[in-house]
Amino acid sequence: MRRLDFFPTPYPDECLYSIFCRYFVRSGSTSNKKTIFELFGEAQSLASFVYLPRRLELVDEWAGTGSLITRECLADSNSCYGYFSIAFTERMLREMEEKIVTGGSNRSLERQMIQKCRRSHWPEYLRYCPECTKEDSESFGEAYWHRLPQLPGVEYCPKHGKAIQNSSVHLKETTMRFLPASHALCRLDEKEEPGRRLYKGKYLMIAKDSEWLLANGRRLNGCREVARKYKELFMEKDLTTAQGIRYTERIKSEFIKYHGEDFLSRLFRMAKIHYTGWSLPL
């Protein structure tokens, strides 16, 4: 694959898909297919780049060796790797870390990563905070797609407290097409739904935690370590036996008491999860 003539400098919290969209616009391309081949050397679906650090073995072709745009930067700052890595097994995490360091291609790891990231729960449309979009246009001269509003349960912007809006871009459309925010977000909505507003405080907590995970999740070392930490916390709250066996029913009722049944069913409906009471994946 030929080295690209240029590659856009990533903006703060910008997802990889958005960086590719800006490449498409700046290269003056009129063919999605041609740009996909320029970027990947073969046919490639684009939708998962809204979330995942895929095809990192190509970073040297995109940005050149010695560039400040590295595999690690893109994984950490322009993908949701940190957020999703808390569900990774030890082996997946090790393979992903190896891929970041060596740049080796690992297609089976990419497939597993997509499975782990529960694609069915991703929001239907690309989403945005109207205030962040205005600020981006002022600071950078263009709008772009952020990572955080695309995550399930993020309904308010933690920076501005504004309700997150659906754009007109359906996630399915991003599979084979570059749909830049600068085109899609010419008109900004500020729709607010009373049901959502009722739980603004709770949604803001989820948004802040999601933001924290994006930045720090990678350091939590995957699902086993996270499960171990939960177990410690359950023990502290007398939700396990002295031997550490979980009282599942008690955990469930404490969880529902803390979040509220109505909020949980709303949250699950938005994430397209069939809610039948609540079963904890313990």
Q: Which residues bind Zn ion (CB under 5 A)?
A: 129, 131-132, 157, 159-160
Smallest distance, Zn ion to C-beta of residue 12, A: 12
User: Of 91, 90, 121, nearest to 108 (Cα)?
Assistant: 91
Nearer to Zn ion, 110 or 136 (CB): 136
Our measurement of the distance from residue 81's CA atom to the centroid of its chain's CA atoms, rounded to an integer in Å, reads: 7
Nearer to Zn ion, 87 or 204 (CB): 204
Nearer to Zn ion, 119 or 160 (CB): 160
Smallest distance, Zn ion to C-beta of residue 144, A: 13
Neighbours of 244 (CB within 10 A): 11
User: Of 155, 192, 153, 149, nearest to 169 (Cα)?
Assistant: 149
Smallest distance, Zn ion to C-beta of residue 215, A: 16
Cα radius of gyration (the chain): 20
Nearer to Zn ion, 96 or 132 (CB): 132
Smallest distance, Zn ion to C-beta of residue 279, A: 34
Nearer to Zn ion, 74 or 143 (CB): 143
Smallest distance, Zn ion to C-beta of residue 75, A: 23
